[in-house]
Amino acid sequence: MARYFSNINVSIVNVIRGVVPPGGKCFGVFTPPFSGLIFPLRGRARMSFDGVPYVMDPGKVFNSGPNMALDKEVLGQSEWDFMVIHYRVDDSEKGAFSYGLSHYQLDPGHSTRINNMLHRLYQLCAMPGSLPALRAKSLFFSILDEILTCCGKPRNESDRELIGQAREYMESHYMETLTVPKMAGQYGLSSKQFAYLFQKYAGMGPTEYLIEYRVRRAKELLCTTAATVAEISTCVGYSDPYYFSKLFKKRTGFCPSMLQSHFGENIK
């Protein structure tokens, strides 16, 4: 597949994003007169290309060829959120399998890098001019590169990397309002899937990890700054200082004000 795309001419037509409500369906239509890479972001759907069905979940990528018979329906009770890169190919490799003009499924797994590049491509394709078009084409090949790289990795390695990225994100945004559904949505996972993978690779659930990190940062601030308990509470993501004090004492065995008093003389 890498050799195929490296030897053909590709032009990007557009990048679109769609959200289909639960129960949405459309039968007996056709794909556009160009190819498409479909990226499920959230929810589930079933699409059939020329009668061949695919269940479209996040973590998978699908290619559709031009002018194919298309049936599609949303599965379950959630919206189906997806993006499509429409592209044209000059398929001059006679006798070889045409990846650009065929339908198939790829399984790169959940990749924040792919999602980020996809959203950047979406923005670039909305900009006029030759320079954005050049950057968009380069980014298209970077997305293909990342898809094929991820497909070549064992699934557990991809999942481990995803949780590593999630931990880094939490440690950079711990002062913000973070919830499991919000975090899971960033990686195209359900809350249950995200919590399971986090427990598996981090050794604790995401909520527990966030609390432990916030308490550790609060302890550092209490020992090294003259900020008030209320200010530190806000700094580590808790708007209620009373709740923060109870949580801190439960986790460390002493009140934040006691810790601050103990180290206060060194700060002054």
What are the pLDDT digits (tens) for 202-253?
989 999 999 999 999 999 998 888 889 999 999 999 999 999 999 999 998 8
For residues 122 and 248, give the distance between their C-alpha atoms in angstroms, rounded to a whole number: 43
145, containing H or E segment: helix 130-151
CA 1 to chain centroid, in Å, comes to 24
For residues 114 and 131, give the distance between their C-alpha atoms in angstroms, rounded to a whole number: 22
Q: How many CB atoms lie within 10 A of CB 193?
A: 16
* Torsional class of 48: left (φ above 0), alpha (ψ -120 to 50), beta (otherwise): beta
For residue 207, give both structure tokens. 């909520």
Torsion angle, CA of 248/253/257/260, rounded to 10 degrees?
Answer: -100
Angle made by CA atoms 20, 25, 28, in degrees to the nearest 5: 130
Q: How many helices (H) and strands (E) does the chain have?
A: 10, 9
For residues 130 and 155, give the distance between their C-alpha atoms in angstroms, rounded to a whole number: 38
- Res 91: pLDDT: 67
Mean pLDDT score, 157-161: 80
Banded pLDDT at 109 (limits 50, 70, 90)? confident
Lowest mean pLDDT among 41-50, 150-159, 216-225: 150-159
User: Can you give the pTM of this predicted structure?
Assistant: 0.64
Banded pLDDT at 141 (limits 50, 70, 90)? very high
The residues facing 83 across adjacent strands are 17, 39
The chain-wide mean pLDDT, for the chain, equals 88
Query: Could you tell me the sign of the dihedral formed by the alpha carbons of 55, 60, 61, 63, in that order?
Result: negative
SS3 category, 157: helix
